[in-house]
Amino acid sequence: MVRDPDLRLLTLVGPGGIGKTRLATEVATLVQDDFPGDVYVVSLSAVDDPDMVPAMIASAIGLAGVGANLPEAVARRLGQGQALLVLDTFEHLLPAGPMIGELLAACPSLIALVTSRAPLQLRGERQLRVQPLAVHVETDASGLAPAVELFLERAAAVEPTFKISPDATEIVTDICSRLDGLPLAIELAAARVRHMPLTTLRMHLDHRLEPLVGGARDLPVRQQTMRATMDWSYALLGAAEMRLFRSLAAFRGGFGKDAAAAMIQSSDSLDPADVMPPLSALVDASLVMLAREPSEEGRYRMLDVTRDYAVERSVAAREFDGLRRRHADFFLSLAERAEPELRGARQREWFARLLADEGNFRAAMTWALEAGEFDLGLRMAGALWMFWRWAGLFAEGRAWLDAALAGGAASSLRVRCQGLWGAGWLAYHQGDYRRTGDVGARMLSELGESGHDLQRRNAHTLVGNAALGEGRDKDAIEALSEAVALTQSPEGTWHQATSLLNLGTAQMHAGQVGAARELFERALTIYQELGDRHFLARTLIQVGYAQLMASGPITAAPAIARAMEIVAEIGDGWGIAEGLEAVATLRSISQPRSTVLLAAAAAHLRERISMHQHAADAVINRLYLDRARESMTAETFAETWREGRALTLAEALAVAQAMG
């Protein structure tokens, strides 16, 4: 169906556990080569707010932070290349359905494949109701029914010695029939062959299904059956496994072993230090699954229907409110531990760790704001703003920070100022210099003149960078000089290095190139000691610009080449964009065509990660790009610009390397 040229929207409809996600994933894999514009898979299970759907789609396509301009941005991104967008688990986000219609209208080459328990009710939508697996084969057919094959495959996976006989096949067929051919229910049942014979398994299943026959009429029959299956599987757990299963209800999008242990109270029958045996038992029972993404400690996840059942059980046990609190406390601690690490040698490792728990941070922030725990929410948002900046989640980060700041008085001035600092920087990176300056001025007003040197430094940094963005060089130098003065110490710190970098950038922009180079060299020394490769590369680019302005491209080339090596190695999208722009600037006279190619590739990359260019850099880049533009006709420039925007990241890096 997805190969049908007239198809725009196909919704796979069916109850939880029917196999919609598995079917959509297999289809996406099979038709990959039919979509030159690529296949994008967006899992929405960890998203509660329909307004977050555009951000999730944008992130998957590589356009994080575009917000309301999503249809237009996707259309530009895809061009004429036909693409497939898979939206998995949409039933709780149906108010976002009209946005999908707008997206398809703006992108004629895009096809959407949606999995949902309910149709989107959009014009042109085709619905395919996913049916249960067949339990019985036709009388004249050979082989086993798909439901029986699934049971046997799962049983053999958990118990390699499991053997099938004609009598056993009949029992398995009966079990699958009583489970209505639902894949998840069959997998849950098959996982129990490790602990009991098939006859006992069937007996337990009979007992557990009977109480729900003729249950609540407002629930679909298959949902009743799934709940019965979950009841039965839950009842077979030991006490420690039951307790842990209920404790996992608070997680969204996955969790690690330490996070699971943190959900256990010391008063519980389960010792947090002994979480692995019951967690492994839950994996064996198919109530928890090992996640695919690599992780040192291993990551786990629950299917949505399983998590919903865990929530029901924890609510019934009057545990869920406490779980949400412990969940928020754990992820607050993780965020605060990660915040300084994002400025050091392990920054990429910690960024990846935070990214894996993006859904959990959203859940924790949501709970904190809804529960009136504004101080907790502000501490978390204040610790996460640099992560949001790296991830390109500027609008989302600003929204969380604004909500937490508006909630009430913080426990300390330090906590409040940390939140304001993050809000100001995220605004700056979106080009909202007025907001950045206003936040900095507000911080200075609240801090006064005594103490709080680091917070006052941060405030002056915001005021100075806002002034630089608005072209007020004198005001920028004055404010950023104050920031440097507030970070002087015998031992260099990240804040001191960044203050030196900021002031040097302002001085270079004002024509004070010699003074700027001295500040850049001091910053380089500190970043090298700290192991912050991201800001090391950014400073090297500024060194290159200063040398370019002082003595020309030959002396500037080594610093910029080294910066490019660093950003390419660590996969820093922000740094790569800056590096491509720097190389383009360097070769604007000798290689004008390549300059335009790289400038266009960098502009496209900035659009994809929603990253506004630093004002000072933009002035330099525009000056040299104009020189390249003057060397060709308007038509040639436009064609070369289009060609540059179409370059892949690897192709753009290859062009930069070839330019020398």
Note the pLDDT tens digit of each residue in 559-605.
999 999 998 888 777 788 889 999 999 888 889 999 999 999 999 98
Give the number of other Cβ atoms within 10 Å of residue 413's Cβ.
16
Q: pLDDT at position 221, please?
A: 38
First to last CA, the chain: 49
Same domain? For 241 and 228 the reply is no
Q: Does the structure show a pLDDT above 90 at 621?
A: no
Assigned domain for 637 exists:
yes
Question: d(Cα 476, Cα 372) in Å, to the nearest integer?
Answer: 38
* Domain CATH for 30: 3.40.50.300
Residues 202 and 278 in one domain: no
Q: Is the dihedral of CA 63, 368, 423, 526 positive or negative?
A: negative
Q: Which residues pair with 301 in a beta bridge?
A: 289
Q: Are residues 119 and 181 in the same domain?
A: no
Based on the fold, state whether residues 258 and 192 are members of the same structural domain.
Answer: no
The verdict on residue 576 lying in a domain is yes
Tell me which of 233, 262, 287 is where a domain ends: 233
Q: Are residues 242 and 227 in the same domain?
A: no
- The answer to whether position 420 is within a domain reads no
What percentage of the chain carries pLDDT values higher than 90? 53
User: Does 402 fall in a domain?
Assistant: no
Q: Using CB atoms within 10 Å of the CB of residue 161, give its burial: 0 to 12 exposed, 13 to 18 middle, 19+ buried.
A: exposed
Is residue 639, in this structure, part of any structural domain at all?
Answer: yes
**Do 208 and 304 fall within a single domain?**
no
Q: The pTM is what?
A: 0.79
What is the mean predicted confidence (pLDDT) over 26-45?
90
379 domain-assigned: no
- Sorting pLDDT into bands at 50, 70 and 90, what band is 224? very low
**273 band by pLDDT with thresholds 50, 70 and 90:** confident
pLDDT above 80 (res 233): no
204 and 304 both lie in a single domain = no
For the stretch 69-120, pLDDT in tens is 778 888 777 777 789 999 999 988 999 999 999 999 988 889 999 998 888 9
Does pLDDT of 63 surpass 70? Answer: yes
Domain boundary among 233, 265, 283: 233
Last residue of a domain, one of 296, 318, 340: 318
Token look-up 């040197």 returns 453
Give, in order, the Cα–Cα distances in Å from 560 to each of 197, 313, 340, 543, 611: 68, 58, 27, 8, 20
Both structure tokens of 351: 């960024």
Give just the sign of the alpha carbon dihedral 598, 602, 607, 612.
negative
Residue 106 belongs to some domain of the structure: yes
Show the domain range for 207: 146-233
Separation CA 254–CA 388 (nearest Å)? 19
Question: What is the 3-state secondary structure of 579-644?
Answer: HHHHHHHHCCCCCHHHHHHHHHHHHHHHHHHCCCCCHHHHHHHHHHHHHHHHCCCHHHHHHHHHHH
Q: What are phi and psi of 255, to 5 degrees?
A: -165, 160
* Beta strand pairing call for 289-290 and 299-301: antiparallel
Q: The CATH number of the domain where 305 resides is what?
A: 1.10.10.10
Which residue's entry shows tokens 């939206």? 87
d(CA 599, CA 586): 11
Q: Are residues 223 and 246 in the same domain?
A: no
Q: What is the pLDDT of residue 64?
A: 64
What is the spatial order of strands in the sheet that 39-43 belongs to?
39-43, 83-88, 110-116, 9-13, 125-129
Tell me whether residue 173 is in a domain. Answer: yes
Same domain, 225 and 248: no
Please indicate, yes or no, whether residues 544 and 653 belong to a single structural domain of this protein. yes
Q: In terms of domains, do 154 and 119 share one? A: no
SS3 269: coil
Taking the CB of residue 190, how many other CB atoms lie within 10 A of it? 27
Report the DSSP pairing between strands 9-13 and 110-116: parallel
Percent of the chain, pLDDT > 70? 92
Q: Are residues 155 and 87 in the same domain?
A: no
How many domains in the chain?
A: 4
